[in-house]
């Protein structure tokens, strides 16, 4: 008899699986044929077989989506989670400092993965009004990405900028399997423990003097939070979008894509200073114009990166 289970933790050869029908968590190994064709990850649905007291994963159920990162050294995609209904892009507004470019990259990925995203501005209890947070939020809202301003440390804190609060975020998560992504130290693990209606224990470490996180979470792990599940993930060290081709990049910038479709030039590099380009002069609404301008600048930065000759090719030539 085959038993349906969800992977909560995936190690090299050992997988922590939850069998909902029996309300228990078991450790399982995987059949060689399954491992050969797939890298099993947190969030995967699998079929188990029981032999004596041992469980073995004998089948992987087709994924609805894959969350991956690029392993730069191996130049390979590494799937880190699967079957996510939502991506939480978490950022801190104090330490580590807010980095627009990093959030833009995560947003680009979420469009590539075809999984809806929200951005959480965490550590609002420490916000010093040192950047225009309202503009940043409008920038993502213009992309259809909902923003929340919260403090994982003081969840009851009222919001200041009229965006979603901690309670709104909890509501949004009901019945989802969500992955939380972001740099080390932004408070991903702390957010999960605060969001959960059950007791959850995850390690969070203090931010060092440098203002950076200490890479406390070292592997992806799914956590039951009562009415929803969240996959905690390790903070990123480097962020490569190298697998995306220059031609397809615009598809993952839906706000720019709409405008670019009206551009009259073929193979246009798109620039607000090129007469005749759809981006020329910016939007008629000055507020939207600033947003589009800064998004175009992010787009170009990434474009430059992915258009460059990859390092491994440079070496051999
Ligand atoms: N003041 C304040 N501190 C917070 C908040 N959320 C998290 N922190 C602190 O920030 C530090 C880092 O939090 P973590 O939860 O470990 O961050 P992380 O994103 O999981 O980091 P990695 O696991 O390294 O990727 C801890 O000392 C937390 O207590 C918040 O809303 N306000
Ligand atoms: Mg963590
Ligand atoms: Zn153009």
Name the phi and psi angles at 298, rounded to 5: -65, -45
pLDDT at 210 over 90: no
**What is the DSSP-derived secondary structure letter of residue 235?**
P
For residue 178, what are the contacts with CB-CB under 8 A and spacing of at least 6? 84, 85, 86, 87, 88, 228, 229, 230, 231
216 Cβ inside 6 Å of ligand 1: yes
Mutate to test the pocket of ligand 1, among 97, 211, 213, 234 (most ligand atoms within 8 A of CB): 213
Say what the pLDDT of residue 312 is.
53
Say what the pLDDT of residue 203 is.
83
Give the residue extent of every domain in the chain: 2-60, 66-232, 249-310
Mutate to test the pocket of ligand 1, among 124, 204, 231 (most ligand atoms within 8 A of CB): 204
**Dist CA 235 CA 21 (whole Å):** 33
CA 60 → CA 3, 31, 82, 224, 283, distances in Å?
12, 10, 11, 21, 48
Say what the pLDDT of residue 313 is.
53
Q: Which pTM value belongs to this model? A: 0.94
Say what the pLDDT of residue 310 is.
55
188 Cβ inside 6 Å of ligand 1: yes
Per-residue pLDDT, averaged over 50-59, amounts to 96
Q: Pick one of 3.40.120.10, 3.40.50.720, 3.40.50.300, 3.20.20.70 as the CATH number of 66-232.
A: 3.40.50.300
Q: Using the mean position of ligand 2's atoms as its centre, give its distance from the Cα of residue 312 in Å.
A: 32
Per-residue pLDDT tens for 269-313? 888 888 889 998 766 788 888 999 999 999 999 999 999 855 555
Say what the pLDDT of residue 297 is.
95
Per-residue pLDDT tens for 151-209? 999 999 999 999 999 999 999 999 999 999 999 999 999 999 999 988 888 888 888 87
234 Cβ inside 6 Å of ligand 1: yes
Q: Using the mean position of ligand 2's atoms as its centre, give its distance from the Cα of residue 95 in Å.
A: 15
CATH topology for 2-60 is OB fold (Dihydrolipoamide Acetyltransferase, E2P) (2.40.50)
């Amino acid at each position: 008899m085959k038993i349906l289970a969800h992977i909560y933790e995936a190690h090299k050869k050992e997988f922590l699986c939850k069998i909902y029908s029996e309300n228990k968590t078991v450790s399982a190994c995987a059949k060689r044929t399954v491992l050969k064709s797939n890298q099993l990850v947190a969030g995967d649905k699998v079929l188990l077989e029981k032999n004596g007291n041992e469980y073995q994963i004998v089948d992987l159920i087709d994924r609805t989506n894959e969350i991956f990162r690029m392993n730069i050294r191996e130049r390979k995609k590494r799937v880190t989670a699967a079957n996510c209904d939502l991506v939480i892009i978490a950022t801190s507004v104090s330490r580590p400092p807010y980095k627009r470019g990093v959030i833009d990259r995560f947003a680009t990925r979420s469009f590539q993965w075809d999984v809806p995203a929200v951005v959480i501005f965490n550590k609002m209890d420490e916000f010093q009004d040192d950047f225009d947070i309202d503009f940043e939020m409008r920038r993502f809202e213009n992309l259809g990405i909902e923003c929340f301003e919260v403090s994982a440390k003081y969840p009851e804190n009222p919001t200041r900028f009229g965006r979603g609060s901690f309670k709104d975020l909890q509501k949004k998560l009901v019945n989802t399997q969500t992955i939380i992504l972001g740099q080390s130290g932004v408070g991903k693990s702390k957010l999960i423990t605060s969001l959960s209606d059950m007791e959850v224990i995850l390690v969070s470490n203090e931010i060092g003097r440098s203002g950076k996180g200490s890479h406390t979470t070292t592997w992806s792990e799914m956590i039951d939070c009562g009415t929803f599940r969240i996959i905690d993930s390790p903070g990123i060290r480097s962020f490569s979008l190298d697998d995306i081709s220059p031609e397809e990049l615009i598809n993952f910038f839906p706000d720019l894509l709409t405008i670019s479709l009206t551009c009259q030039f073929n193979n246009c590099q798109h620039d607000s200073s090129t007469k005749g380009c759809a981006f020329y002069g910016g939007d008629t609404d000055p507020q939207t114009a600033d947003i589009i301008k800064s998004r175009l600048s992010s787009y170009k930065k990434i474009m430059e990166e992915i258009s460059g000759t990859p390092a491994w090719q440079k070496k051999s030539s």
